[in-house]
A and B are shown apart, each in its own frame.
Chain A
């Protein structure tokens, strides 16, 4: 069973970061493998193990921060990784542009299954995996919290609002977006990290995928025209002082509100 997993390096903005000229400073960003994608990688490795054969290929679109993230996915048990390297100014590619680049790689890989995370922790679009499935014309299910192979098809549970779950069957090849809690992502060990560095990692450019600069510029379906601080950061009345004062204040608010 060949499984492609799309992995994003997501950015967290430093607590004290401020916008300069309406832009975020690179030095205020900390990059990590997107939380949801850890669950997707784990699901892929588990499905491959259950099938007894196969390959897990990681695909990621991004800049300098990607290689280290790919290494940690390989250390979790993925077999191979492809980095679609985009120039720095293209790092703000929107979800549709990213999906088109991912689709170009995955169309060549022809996996049985494509796994993405439900959403990314930085922009929370919750859209790339489904856009990708649409471009590849693959049957797809979003927000999956359980997946097993049964008679050559997948039985999945789709998690709806309010804790309602829908059970579905979907035939392969297919694409799923994976929800947190579906499994327990394994930790990389020193040994697995050492092994990971021997695994195959390739880098491709958009041009090599058939997108020259003009085509790349035309990919996004949206543009971030401006970034700003929220108009009101907080509506809260802040309680100052040490823990004892805070506790005393909380105590009196609770007492006043709960008759």
Chain B
């Protein structure tokens, strides 16, 4: 059992950033003795991605040709599973992404691999892999190990490693030795629906007032809209308010919404779940108001106040009004 296998992620014909981040993580593990770093790319035209995936530290690029133009969970699972069975890597890395959520745990369960998802750090010591991940809504950090498992699959949170520049390595490219057939797919792709542009482009605003589930009443959304107007901010929100239909999807910040980086992000009643943070952590200044002093949002904020958002919003309206 040796080596690190990175599973690259391709969407609509393009490699996603996470593929490169995983190579950085994989290279660190390889340098700590986990064995050679290989990357597996499954796509309609996998060879087209080989050159950029060839970053320093990668020994081999394995290609598997998909008969379909788009990711299909069952074809992906089959290819990953066959390559793991051939190579017996000690560590398999994939992204903690929507595509991986669709196939990775199925492979891990079927092959009886060690498994951890949403991993934020990895180390390889004395032949043992350890991982860290959040627990209890990100309140605590858990250290995970994998007793009795010689091969481990870890799904790594996007943003954990810094992506290296594409290309510049000396890897060999070879066929992964897996033949996929369209008939092995268990789903049929009917099309994509692009994200709705909506009434507003929140990625262009300098100042965002972001509201979360701490705003308990739909009637308060109107009040927050007025506050945003009064202080010169654009109103955005976390997902639950969009799920409830209180605000349109075009105002949702986060993994399944928009990614923003305004000059100021003022968050009211948002806990700071990872999928929300992914969409706003690059903001220049983050101010968080939350009644819960241990809310994870304070872990990324520049300024924080443990306070009730309703009190602060009334005071802000007054402050900016005068």
Contacts and interface: CB of A to CB of B under 8 A. Distances in A.
A158 B255 contact: no
Place the interface of chain B in its size category. Answer: 35 or more
Contacts of B298: 233-236
A83 interface: no
Interface in B43-93: 70, 73-74, 77
A167 interface: yes
B207 to A, nearest CB: 6
B192 A127 contact: no
Interface residues of A, number: 87
Contact of A236 (B131, B194, B303): B303
Point out which of A166, A177, A227, A242 has the most chain B C-beta atoms below 10 A from its C-beta: A166
B13 interface: no
Contact of B108 (A157, A165, A221): A221
Contact of B300 (A161, A229, A235): A235
A236 B301 contact: yes
A99 B109 contact: yes
Interface in B109-130: 109-110, 112-118, 130
A247 B102 contact: no
Given A124-B118, A227-B135, A230-B299, A131 B108 contact: yes
B287 to A, nearest CB: 6
B140 A170 contact: no
B187 interface: yes
Interface in B275-292: 284-289, 292
A1 B159 CA distance: 42
A190 interface: no
Contact of B101 (A15, A142, A231): A142
A142 B186 CA distance: 13
A139 B256 contact: no
B155 to A, nearest CB: 8
A61 interface: no
B142 A257 contact: no
A40 B5 CA distance: 34
Contacts of B314: 243
A68 to B, nearest CB: 20
B124 to A, nearest CB: 15
A246 B108 contact: no
Nearest to B81: A134
A157 B193 contact: yes
A142 B99 CA distance: 8
Interface stretch (B33-41, B165-173, B217-225, B239-247): B239-247
Contacts of B193: 157, 164-167
B213 to A, nearest CB: 10
Contacts of A257: 263-264, 284-285
Given A127-B115, A167-B190, A100 B312 contact: no
A228 B144 CA distance: 12
**Do most interface residues of chain A lie in helix, strand or loop, or is the interface mixed?**
mixed
A222 B105 contact: no
A11 interface: yes
B97 A230 contact: no
Nearest to B112: A221
Contact of B186 (A95, A163, A171, A247): A171
B108 A96 contact: yes
A27 B239 CA distance: 30
Interface in A241-259: 242-244, 246-251, 253-254, 257-258
A46 interface: no
A177 B98 CA distance: 11
A133 interface: yes
A131 B116 CA distance: 12
A122 B134 CA distance: 9
Contact of B264 (A128, A135, A227, A254): A254
B146 A223 contact: yes
> 8 smallest A-B Cβ distances: which pairs?
A134-B106, A163-B195, A181-B243, A139-B186, A247-B315, A236-B304, A127-B105, A243-B311
Interface of A: 11-13, 15-17, 19, 24, 94-96, 99-100, 118, 121-128, 130-135, 139-143, 155, 157-171, 174, 177, 180-181, 184, 218, 221-239, 242-244, 246-251, 253-254, 257-258
6 contacts: A163-B195, A232-B299, A234-B304, A235-B300, A246-B315, A250-B312
